[in-house]
């Protein structure tokens, strides 16, 4: 098989670019999945100019016509899900089932936002002045930069690009360096679906500095970013300085609280899925388990049994249930955090088997972790979960809330009052009862509180808030006419 040479998409052309870099498989660094160009200043400027030039035409295209293109792209991705999902697994390292599932999820997101193009685009209001009509209408923001991470290399481009396009914006997509091939497939589907030239531009480039360059030069009106807190806050600062609209989805330190009355088998299953699927590389991953009272012992045993059953291996082998991390540097970072936790008094209760080759890190369950330990406070972004004991529900919720993030949280209980107390008191943008912390339905708002986001929410109907701006219209000096003014004397 020859290695594909990826191209930028700028205006109406696939642009070969220069300075190619290898896109390596994390499961086997000798496997080069694709050769990727690296955009220089000229490519970035050309992409920005193409997006700006396409804006008048695309923003006046009817919403329904825009939706039809998104529908077609959705259908194409459903058709291509197996092939795209396989490439996703090869370059990102998640399992084949996860790769195919994520591609279908991206297709579902495209379909959802295609449907949103027939939603109401404004509201009518009563005026205090006779002969005046008041309404609001939604207009696109302009050129939107989508800066997306490698851990959901097609779902997150979809959940930024689909609403941006549906609401009439043009887009500059800068995907993460580690997952260019999947981003290429995503853009290919939209181009094949008939998206006009320049409406969506794709550039491969190093680092989020690209986003800052676009912001600083006034190329973009809005930037939507998912990724690390450090990079996100930097982008936010430049967006504020340049008066660009900005939306951030950042980290998490998500906890599952387990009450003594919980279905322990289900809790353990959801904890292992939440902590270990995608090797824990999700901002929604379960990273802490807060075990109330007597739940700790049985829970630890049930978790250990499930972790032992994980099958690490080649992500494209259908039998594999546990893949590698994104690269060797990630393995080193996670191993360093585990070693530091052990030095601080934590004990490795469970460690899974992994192959000797590739960027694998074992699934780890830690015991003896205190709520304020670094491993219980900092985002790991790897297959590590810490069990923290709590005396009662009150203490459990305090521990749950005692981190600087607030993305997703869950409680396992059979008691309605316990569930209600948690739902109301949990400082998180998303709460689950008897479910895993990860996962998101495309028609629901997604986002975190505290350090996890910029307050904004993605997906669902609320996505319209970020990707549009409201225009308020006063139509004045009209005839003052009422519905009964010209009524016959009797009916």
Question: Applying CB under 6 A, which residues contact ligand UN1?
Answer: 149, 151-152, 226, 249, 282-284, 438-440
Of the two residues 151 and 169, which places its CB atom closer to ligand UN1 in the complex?
151
| Residue 57: CB minimum distance to ligand UN1, A | 31
Residue 55 vs 440, nearer CB to ligand UN1: 440
Closest among 308, 438, 437, 296 to 367, alpha carbons compared: 296
Catalytic residue from among 98, 249, 379, 458: 249
**Which CB atom, from 226 or from 320, has the smaller least distance to ligand UN1?**
226
Task: Enumerate the β-bridge partners of residue 389.
Answer: 291
- 91, 283, 379, 436: the catalytic one is 283
Question: What are 103's two structure tokens?
Answer: 């591609």
CA 125 to chain CA mean position, Å: 36
Q: Which of 174, 169, 214, 244 is nearest to 463 (CA)?
A: 169
* 37: its two tokens: 């160009």
Task: Tell me whether residue 249 is one of the annotated catalytic residues.
Answer: yes
Contacts of 49 (CB under 8 A, 6+ apart): none
**In the bound complex, what is the minimum distance in angstroms from residue 436's beta carbon to ligand UN1?**
9
Per the CB < 8 A criterion, the answer to whether 150 and 179 are in contact is yes
- What is the smallest separation between the CB atom of 288 and ligand UN1, expressed in angstroms? 16
Q: Which residues contact 314 (CB under 8 A, 6 or more apart)?
A: 27, 28, 320
Gap between the Cα atoms of 307 and 71, Å rounded: 40
Task: Provide the minimum distance between the beta carbon of 450 and ligand UN1 in the complex, in angstroms, as a whole number.
Answer: 15
Q: Which is nearer to ligand UN1, 151 or 413 (CB)?
A: 151
Q: Which residue lies nearer to ligand UN1 by CB, 8 or 282? A: 282
Q: CB 452 → ligand UN1: shortest distance, Å?
A: 9
92 has catalytic annotation: no
Among residues 107, 106, 82, 85, the alpha carbon closest in space to that of 94 is found at 85
Look up residue 447 and give its two tokens.
């986002």
User: How many Å separate Cα 332 from the centre of its chain?
Assistant: 24
From CA 78, how far away is CA 63, in angstroms rounded?
A: 23
What is the smallest separation between the CB atom of 284 and ligand UN1, expressed in angstroms?
4
Residue closer to ligand UN1 by CB (options 58, 159) is: 159
- Which is nearest to 145 in space by CA: 127, 123, 126, 164? 164
Give the residue numbers annotated as catalytic, written as ranges. 249, 283
């Amino acid at each position: 098989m020859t290695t594909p040479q990826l191209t930028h998409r700028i205006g109406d052309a696939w642009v070969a670019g220069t300075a190619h870099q290898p896109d390596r498989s994390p499961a086997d660094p000798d496997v080069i999945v694709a050769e990727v160009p690296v955009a220089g200043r000229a490519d970035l400027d050309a992409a920005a100019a193409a997006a700006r030039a396409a804006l008048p035409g695309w923003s006046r295209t009817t919403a329904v016509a825009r939706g039809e293109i998104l529908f077609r792209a959705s259908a194409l991705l459903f058709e291509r899900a197996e092939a795209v999902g396989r490439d996703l697994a090869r370059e990102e390292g998640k399992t084949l089932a996860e790769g195919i599932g994520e591609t279908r999820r991206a297709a579902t997101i495209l379909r959802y936002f295609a449907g949103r193009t027939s939603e109401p685009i404004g509201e009518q209001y009563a005026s205090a002045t006779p002969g005046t009509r008041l309404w609001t209408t939604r207009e696109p923001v302009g050129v939107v930069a989508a800066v997306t991470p490698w851990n959901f290399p097609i779902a997150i481009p979809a959940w930024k690009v689909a609403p941006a396009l549906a609401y009439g914006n043009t887009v500059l997509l800068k995907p993460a360096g580690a997952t260019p091939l999947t981003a290429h497939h995503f853009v290919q589907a939209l181009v094949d679906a008939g998206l006009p030239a320049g409406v969506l531009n794709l550039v491969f480039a190093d680092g989020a500095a690209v986003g800052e360059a676009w912001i600083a030069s006034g190329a973009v009106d809005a930037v939507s970013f998912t990724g690390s807190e450090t990079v996100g806050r930097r982008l936010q600062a430049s967006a504020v300085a340049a008066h660009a609209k900005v939306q951030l989805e950042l980290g998490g330190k998500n906890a599952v609280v387990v009450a003594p009355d919980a279905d322990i088998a289900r809790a353990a299953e959801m904890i292992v899925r939440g902590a270990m699927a995608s090797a824990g590389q999700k901002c929604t991953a379960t990273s802490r388990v807060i075990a109330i009272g007597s739940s700790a012992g049985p829970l630890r045993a049930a978790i250990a049994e499930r972790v032992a059953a994980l099958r690490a291996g080649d992500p494209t082998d259908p039998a594999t249930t546990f893949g590698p991390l994104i690269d060797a540097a990630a393995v080193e970072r996670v191993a360093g955090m585990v070693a530091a936790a052990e030095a601080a008094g934590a004990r490795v209760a469970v460690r899974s088997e992994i192959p000797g080759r590739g960027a694998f890190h074992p699934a780890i369950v830690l015991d003896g972790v205190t709520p304020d330990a670094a491993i219980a406070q900092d985002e790991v972004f790897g297959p590590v979960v810490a069990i923290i004991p709590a005396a009662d529900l009150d203490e459990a919720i305090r521990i749950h809330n005692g981190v600087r993030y607030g993305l997703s949280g869950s409680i396992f209980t059979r008691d309605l009052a316990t569930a209600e107390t948690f739902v109301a008191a949990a400082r998180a943008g998303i709460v689950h009862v008897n479910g895993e912390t990860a996962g998101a339905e495309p028609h629901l708002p997604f986002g975190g509180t505290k350090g996890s986001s910029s307050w904004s929410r993605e997906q669902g109907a609320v996505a319209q808030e970020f990707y549009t701006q409201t225009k308020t219209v006063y139509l004045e000096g009209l005839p003052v006419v009422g519905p009964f003014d010209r009524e016959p004397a009797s009916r």
